[in-house]
Amino acid sequence: MVVAADGTVVHFRKGAPGVRLCGERGEMAFDYGKGWRLWQQVEGPAGSAVAELDWPQPQFNVPYGAVYCVDDVMRCLAGEMEEPKNSGRRVGVALEVEVALKVSAAQGGERVELPLQDRSLGLNYDWFR
C-alpha cells in the first residue's frame, strides 16, 4: 500500500501486475525488479521530451516488505509514528476505495461518495490469472 502526502491511498494485491499511473506531465510505474520508476515531460534544446528521472527517496526495495513492516512497528513503539503505514485502518480505507472504483466503473465512471453506504459490496478476484 502507498499513502501519498495528500492522503491518497493505493493498495497493491500480491501477484497483481505492476502499477502504472499517468498524469498530465508524466507517469510513474512500479516494476517488481527495479522498484518505482518516474518519467516526466522535460524541456531540452530540441524541445519537449519525456525522460526517465531518478525516483525521489525513499525507494521501495523488493522483497523487503517485512523489514519495512517491522521498522514501522518499532517506530510506532518509539513514538515516531502514529500508526504503521500498512495498518488495519489504512487497509480498510484502501479496500473501500478499491470497491468504490469498481462501483464507479460499473456506473460509467460516475463519482462515488465515500464512505460507501452499501456495506454489502465486495470484490471478486481471479486468483488463477
Residue 30 CB neighbour total at 10 angstroms = 19
What is the tens place of the pLDDT at every residue in 67-126? 778 888 889 999 999 999 888 898 899 999 999 999 999 999 999 999 999 989 888 776
- What backbone torsions phi and psi does residue 89 show, to the nearest 5 degrees? -65, -45
Average pLDDT, the chain: 83
Give me the pLDDT at residue 126, please.
64
Q: How confident is the model at residue 28 (pLDDT cuts 50, 70, 90)?
A: confident
Burial class (CB in 10 A: 0-12, 13-18, 19+), 13: exposed
Which amino acid is it at 88?
G
% pLDDT > 70, the chain? 84
% pLDDT > 90, the chain? 32
Of 31 and 106, the one with more pLDDT:
106
- The H-or-E segment that residue 49 falls in is strand 47-53
| 3-state SS class at 92 | helix
Give me the pLDDT at residue 128, please.
57
Given a cut of 80, whether residue 65 has pLDDT beyond it is no
What is the rounded average pLDDT of the residues 48-69? 76
Give me the pLDDT at residue 110, please.
95
Give me the pLDDT at residue 16, please.
55
